[in-house]
Structure 1
Amino acid sequence: MLINCVAYQEGKKLSDIPVEDISEYLKLPDTFVWVALRDPDQAEIATMQEEFALHELAVEDAVRGHQRPKMEEYGDCVFVTLQILEFAGDELNSGELAVFAGPNYVLSVRRDANQGFLGVRARAEREPHQLKKGSGFVLYALADAVVDRYFPVVDRLEAELESIEDHIFGKVGEQRANIERLYALKRKSQTMRHAVIPLLDAVGRLYGGRVPPVVSETQDYFRDVHDHLLRIAGRLDAVRDTINTAIQVSLSMVAIEENDISKKLASYAAIFAVFTAFAGVWGMNFEFMPELKWRYGYPVALATMASVCGYMYWRFKKAGWI
């Protein structure tokens, strides 16, 4: 679906243009065309390929989707893919943004993501002195918007981790739920790492040293994006390490509680074993057992059993087994 198709000259918007006129505007001096698509079909992609003379391999990646973040050069065109992360309830969903940036055009293809980039276009149009830098600045603005949206995601992951940590030393019945929440959080953090870590390398190739001509005037901006990614990657590493530690602590708490339960069961089993032993001896009913004909034999037997069991209970209680 076509979102926008706009021509700019000298950093200022000329007009919205029909798709079939794109090739004509590309011939104008100091002019570039910015087209945004969302979940396009094959026919729309084919039209854009023809209008912008896009490389077939880059088009194939944009059509298929599900690409890892990367940056590739095809002649004078830079092809960049980024993952868009957004929460839907408690689930972290991953979409994709593919950007073709040539000397006088930018084509962005968004898939499987609800959040748009109209704000990016509005921001760029408010800064004509920046927009004069052409497609390189638009590529930066799109990448910067995607990366800035990572910060609320990692904030939420950290907040969720803190919430789980507050319950790690809680009741025993909560440990299983805590471990399940930790593994779910670990899966979300891995999803985010898959979006951030490869993008570090891709953005790192857009500043310093030899860079594509398209971004030659915007290297400093891409260095800023790279710095943001480094900050996010560091926070993700901290989240991952904390999750692993929390999982180990939770498992240890479960093991400790199981050991305490085993101690309690062993203690009560030992106490009842005393009853069994005494009852077994006095229940044999031999003819010459003196206790059988003694008037106080039965009360003494019960008192002895109760006294021994009481003593054992006291010892186990003192030892912390009960």
Structure 2
Amino acid sequence: MWGLLDRIVDNHYDVTDRLDDAIDGLEEGLFDVRQQTMEIQKRSFTLRKSLVTLRRLVNPMREILNTLLRRDDSKFAPDMGPYFQDVYDHVLRVIEQTDSLRDLVSTILDTNLSIQSNRMNLVMKKVTSWAAIIAVPTAITGFFGQNIPFPGYGAGWGFAVSCAAIVVGGLILYVSFKRRDWL
């Protein structure tokens, strides 16, 4: 009986080691720009599901061993107590490792969402900056394109002033956004 229980718990150790290796691979790919966010999320949820399944398998083992250790009318030789206690300790370690791996997967998911949010913020800053730069020529041509007289209306210098205002306004915004690292 002890040999069977020890073998089962040792297999649980092997499973937790493989899951730990898979989580390490997931962590390494977290900051890799080439990996897709959906792939990381799918792998994370698969690992989390595997960890929950493992926990469901290991928890009853703790109760079985606890019952075997606490029984007064045990059918086993008294000198087998330390062996069963060793298996019980291994079960507790597997449960703790499973819980810590599950927390690690949750942390990976949170980190992935933070990275995704940061990337989106960078894109939004760039789009907003370019929209502001494009707004300058739109505003100036809209003003000078009205059907009312404006400074330089009907004169050649009016067109030159409007073109210069477009270029200068756009360059000022471009330099300002570039300095802030928005472009």
Check whether TM > 0.5: yes
Residue 144 of structure 2 is aligned with which of 273, 282, 306? 282
**Structure 1 residue 208, shift from structure 2 partner:** 4.3
Q: One-letter code of the match for 1:315? A: S
TM-score computed with the length of structure 1 as normaliser: 0.53
Structure 2 vs 1, CA of residues 172 and 301 (structure 1 numbering), >3 Å: closer, same or farther?
farther
TM-score by length of 2: 0.89
Pairwise CA distance, 1:142 = 1.2
Once the two structures are TM-superposed, the CA of residue 262 in structure 1 deviates from its matched residue by 1.8
Q: Distance in 2 between matches of 1:195 and 1:318?
A: 57
Q: Percent identity?
A: 29
* Correspondence for 2:153 among 265, 269, 292: 292
C-alpha RMSD over aligned residues:
2.0
Map 1:160-199; keep pairs closer than 5 Å: 160-171=22-33, 174-199=36-61
Task: Name the counterpart of 1:321.
Answer: 182
Specify the code of the residue in structure 2 equivalent to 1:225: V
Larger Rg: 1
Higher helix residue share? 2
Which one has the bigger strand percentage? 1
Equivalent residues of 2:69, 2:81 under 8 A apart: yes
Structure 1 residue 214: Cα displacement: 4.2
- Matches of 1:173 and 1:152, distance apart in 2: 28
8 Å CA contact 2:30–2:40 kept in 1: the answer is yes
Q: Deviation of residue 170 (structure 1)?
A: 2.6
Mapped contact 2:23–2:105 kept (Cα < 8 A): yes
2:128 corresponds to: 266
Tell me the secondary structure at the aligned position of residue 121 of structure 2: helix
Question: 1:76 — aligned with what?
Answer: none
Distance 2:21 2:162 in 1: 63
Give the aligned length: 183
Cα pair 2:29 2:35 within 8 Å, conserved: no
1:161 Cα deviation (Å)? 0.6
Code of the aligned partner of 1:220: P
Aligned residue in 2 for 1:111: none
Q: Which has the higher contact order (CA 8 A, sep 6+)?
A: 2
Q: 1:301 aligns with which of 154, 162, 173?
A: 162
For residues 191 and 283 of structure 1, the distance between their equivalents in structure 2, rounded to whole angstroms, comes to 69
Is there any run of 5+ residues in structure 2 with no aligned partner, and where?
Answer: none
1:149 deviates by 1.1
